[in-house]
Amino acid sequence: MKSRYRIARLLVKMCNTLEVSINEVRSGNRKQHLCDARKIICYILRGQGLTLEEIGKFLKRDHSTIGYNIREYHTMISINKNFECKAIEIKDLLKNENPAYT
């Protein structure tokens, strides 16, 4: 597993960029902007090498929910331009992330 500190820091950066709090992302609230944020966060963390179970622990979700969010990410990216812009913004943010300092 990647450093818990590094993942927590990435989570904070992503939440700040998406203008949501970590508590909101971890909550059961199903408002669209929070669901979209969860999908993007799940996809990015999976790309960082975390397992579905590890992501689930950070977001207080079951691993199957994480898998569902990742599948939904692929659907949303192709049909929703606003969602795609948010995802690109997060990816650009992480491109500038220096792993040497994590």
Extract the residue ranges of the chain whose pLDDT is less than 50.
1, 100-102
Q: Which backbone phi and psi does 96 adopt, to 5 degrees?
A: -85, -5
User: 6: closest CA among 54, 39, 74?
Assistant: 54
Q: For position 98, what pLDDT does the model report?
A: 57
Tell me yes or no: is domain 4-18+29-101 CATH 1.10.1750.10. yes
Alpha-carbon distance of 36 to 50, in angstroms, equals: 19
Tokens of 12: 């904070």
Q: What is d(CA 41, CA 90) in angstroms, rounded to the nearest whole number? A: 9
